[in-house]
Chains A and B, each alone.
Chain A
Amino acid sequence: MPALAEPSRPELAELERALGADGGLPEGAVVPEGDPSTGADQPTWRVDRGSLVAVCRALRDSPETRFDLLLDACGVDYPDRDDRFEAVYHLYSIPRGERLRLKVPLSEDDPTLPSLIPVWKAADWFEREMFDMFGFRVEGHPNLSRILCHEGFEGHALRKDYDPARRWILTEDKMYTPKFVDLPPAGDDDMFERMTVNIGPSHPAMHGTFRVMAVLDGEEIIASDVEIGYLHRCFEKMCETHTWQQVIPYTDRLNYCSSFINNVGYCRVVERMLGVEPPPKAVWASTILSEFSRIMDHCVCNGTTLVDVGALTNFWYLFQIREEIYGLLEACFGARLTVSGTRIGGLLADLPPDFMERSRKILEMIPPLVEDVEKLIDKNRIWMDRSVGISAISGEDAVDWGWTGPCLRASGVGYDVRRAHPYDLYDTLDFEVPVLYGGDVYDRYKIRMLEIRQSVSIIRQLLDRGMPDGPWIVDDPHVALPPKDAAYNEMEAMIYHFKLIMDGIQVPAGERYGMVEGANGELGYYVISDGSGKPYRIKVRPPCFPIFSTFRELIRGGSISDAVATLGGLNVIAGELER
């Protein structure tokens, strides 16, 4: 029963052979730094920036490596090192199920990097984020501008010497200048005058605070640009100044439609770093409640997408499910939306006595309501006209852009972390990973409906097994707070209680990338600890960040109303996108 997926080890020799085929790499361009046999969580290479593009292209194209997905790219700052900065890339090979981490050391005087957009389109926004947060100058990037911070911001916030308490007054005279990629030049024979339309940031169709600027030719969007960052709240910087436990409430606010999954993902990574195994009851409950959260998230996504195209009734049916699940989460952890349901090493509290009956009751009400929505919508021509073939993307393109989750599975690529790298109890469960092939708005809606059914089946299997006995959190005073009565009455427990709250959990030095299947894709946490009570660096791999970076390509050639339907179907959550 693995608590977290352990990425399997790629054959290093194979990879070297693949690189050798490319040839011409200077000596020392690639230095293996660690792999699972030496205690690292996944194979890690140190790559010279001069060879980065060649190495990445070889890794992507060689039939023996096939790292087709750029999962994440981020920077890390080590002020004490000679090469102060590190750019870290996480690669994944969907056909082989292997992971690889590339680290590119950069000096403080010259933090320049080649752009990886020619290799993976997903690099676009990740590189902008590296520029924004660390000041890396990415050469060859078509639009190297700030992405999460305001244009008037000075300095680079995730550098260690940036004071977290520093405040800026941001004015409107410095604004993001939209950059329209591939805007066709205006011809004299254009039938209509071109018009640039601004949608959002506060607009009901924008599901949060995004700003889309679209250049219209008649009704057709010929180019567009997206501005994000309105909900940026320095999640990663805050993590560095707080203890490991205090990060849990912050993770609630990533994908707030399914906050429990975020809690689980974070706690599993830290538990693996600590070498702590959560008790069976906690694992069992985490799996059930994660699936309930997934159902809830899909209900919200589909419900609101349908509202956006005018089908209001479905919203009411699907939100009934959400309401009941919120009730269950509240009975377990005391909050509906921001549950903070896990602690490092287990759960916040024991499950309520009526957990089983209540879960079963919710399970019974879900399928009829889902069926009702399908009866209303599936063959409804009004909905089909709005969704079939709209913003379709092929599997290859979706992988190129870094997609994961239901949106990728709607394009024909069945990558699901629960199946590929099972964590918690998923390897013992019987479930399907639905795959559809249209890659359009319709299939993104449909795949979520299919996944709700699979989640129902998973929860039913787990409930049938019965609730495991025992504690809900590890009995380790270095990790979990001692029980309250012990803290009140026993000296030793009292000391542990004080130590844990004042100093925090002491996580051994090291780094780890852990992932769970979030409701809209692979939710990864890249965590670095320097052995103190606070995280050295936490980078979240938000699943909707690469998905939303594709938006400008998805809506090209469609109308504004198609863009609205597309945005709903992608399930972009601002809290997670902008952290």
Chain B
Amino acid sequence: MTTAEPTTAGPTTAGDGQAAPPARPRTNVAVGPHPSEPEPKRYSLAERLYLPLVGGMMVTMKHFLGNLLGRRKSYTIEYPEERREYSHRYRGHHILTTRPDGSVRCVACFLCAQACPAECIHIEAGEHPDENIEKYPLVYEIDMLRCVFCGYCVDACPEEAIIMSNNYDMAYFTREQSIVGKNELVKPYTFDEEQLGYRPSYPEEEVRRARMRRDAFDLVSAARAQSEGTRVPNAEESQREERAQAG
């Protein structure tokens, strides 16, 4: 026989009187003969008298008093008054981002619809009056009951037009309501930094450079500027400013 003898007995040969398996077997089988009685474990006297339950009660009391006196962290929260805090990577309700003038940034390229594993994004494209933009979505709908919140649409978007929020409150009375369109995806969000969830990630050291480079759009400052009625400096202006500061 050319293969090495298995160092421990396999299940089919259990019971041949070998010693207990080594403490840390390198083979995948650690079976020797049954080390204990094959009969059901015998109860000790204490167990027969239910004595270990007293120790159990002490554990329960420890937790009870700890919770009562506030020394332990309580894991239950009083939703909806109290809300769980999620990170800025949380994949919640989608947001369609807008340009400084309030129009949707989406150019109806269908990449998100293509990337969606749940096939829940429906887009109908239209011609944009601005020649530089070409297309925009006449209809942009997400079926929230189909969506699996995987974030693939965010990864796929080449325009940073769809991102996700921290919002996990999604409840609908009818199935029709669950299909949300452009209005719902744009309107309720103020781009408050606290509410943003999963969005395109830049490698850390690249972030600054990317933002300094061309039209890398800062969503938060844009939304703020829009609400304040000011204008966001475009890329060239900010570069000029940058150069002026540097020089």
Residues in chain A within 8 A of chain B (CB atoms) = 11, 14, 64, 66, 68, 94-97, 242, 245-250, 313, 316-317, 319-320, 323, 330-335, 338, 340, 348-350, 352, 372, 375-382, 384, 388-389, 395-396, 399, 412-416, 419-421, 430, 432-433, 435, 437-438, 440, 442, 471, 481, 483-485, 487-489, 494, 497-498, 501-502
Contact = CB atoms under 8 A, between A and B. Distances in A.
B23 to A, nearest CB: 7
A94 B23 contact: no
Given A95-B29, A485-B206, A375 B56 contact: yes
A412 B151 contact: no
A350 B117 contact: no
A90 B130 CA distance: 60
B106 to A, nearest CB: 15
B135 interface: no
A335 B25 CA distance: 38
A316 B111 CA distance: 44
A317 B12 CA distance: 39
Given A249-B148, A348-B151, 6 more contacts: A350-B203, A372-B63, A389-B40, A487-B158, A489-B210, A489-B214
B140 interface: no
A317 B55 contact: no
A381 B50 contact: yes
A246 B115 contact: yes
Q: How large is the interface on B (under 10, 10 to 19, 20 to 34, 35 or more residues)?
A: 35 or more
A501 B156 contact: yes
Contacts of A437: 34-36
B11 A432 contact: no
A379 B52 contact: yes
A494 B156 CA distance: 11
Contacts of A435: 21, 30-31
A352 B56 CA distance: 39
B3 interface: yes
Interface stretch (B85-93, B187-195, B226-234): B85-93
B36 A334 contact: no
B86 A330 contact: yes
Contacts of A485: 202-203, 206-207, 209-210, 213, 216
Interface in B177-219: 197-198, 200-204, 206-207, 209-210, 213-216
Nearest to A340: B150
Nearest to B48: A381
27 contacts: A64-B1, A68-B11, A97-B27, A247-B117, A249-B117, A316-B75, A330-B89, A334-B89, A334-B90, A334-B198, A338-B149, A340-B151, A349-B89, A376-B59, A377-B56, A379-B52, A380-B52, A380-B53, A412-B14, A414-B29, A414-B30, A414-B31, A419-B26, A420-B28, A435-B30, A435-B31, A483-B206
A375 B55 contact: yes
Nearest to B1: A64
Contact of B87 (A97, A330, A380): A330
A316 B74 CA distance: 11
Contacts of A246: 115, 117, 152
A453 B23 CA distance: 16
A384 B148 contact: no
A377 B14 CA distance: 31
B155 A483 contact: no
B28 A416 contact: yes
Contacts of B197: 334
Nearest to A98: B3
Contacts of A396: 11-12, 14
A221 to B, nearest CB: 19
Contacts of A250: 117
Nearest to A419: B28
**Residue of A319, A320, A376, A502 contacting most chain B CB atoms (<10 Å):** A376
B103 interface: no
A438 B160 CA distance: 57
Contact of B89 (A331, A379, A399): A331
B6 interface: yes
Contacts of A375: 52, 55-56, 58-59
A66 B5 CA distance: 13
Interface string B156-173: 101010001000000000
Nearest to A443: B41
A376 B91 CA distance: 38
Nearest to A60: B12
A409 to B, nearest CB: 9
Contact of A414 (B21, B158, B198): B21
B237 interface: no
Contacts of B90: 330, 334-335
B52 A335 contact: no
B43 interface: yes
Given A66-B12, A381-B52, A396-B12, A414 B25 contact: yes
A77 B204 CA distance: 46
B158 A494 contact: yes
Contacts of B209: 485
Given A330-B89, A485-B209, A415 B28 contact: yes
Contacts of B75: 316, 319-320, 323
Given A484-B201, A485-B209, A388 B40 contact: yes
Given A64-B3, A389-B40, A415 B198 contact: no
B3 A334 contact: no
B2 interface: yes
B47 interface: yes
B60 interface: yes
B243 interface: no
Nearest to A397: B11
A440 B41 CA distance: 11
B9 to A, nearest CB: 8
Contacts of B198: 334
**Residue of B1, B10, B115, B202 contacting most chain A CB atoms (<10 Å):** B10
Contacts of A419: 25-26, 28
A218 B196 CA distance: 60
Contacts of B68: none
A68 B34 contact: no
Given A384-B47, A437-B35, A488 B89 contact: no
B208 to A, nearest CB: 10
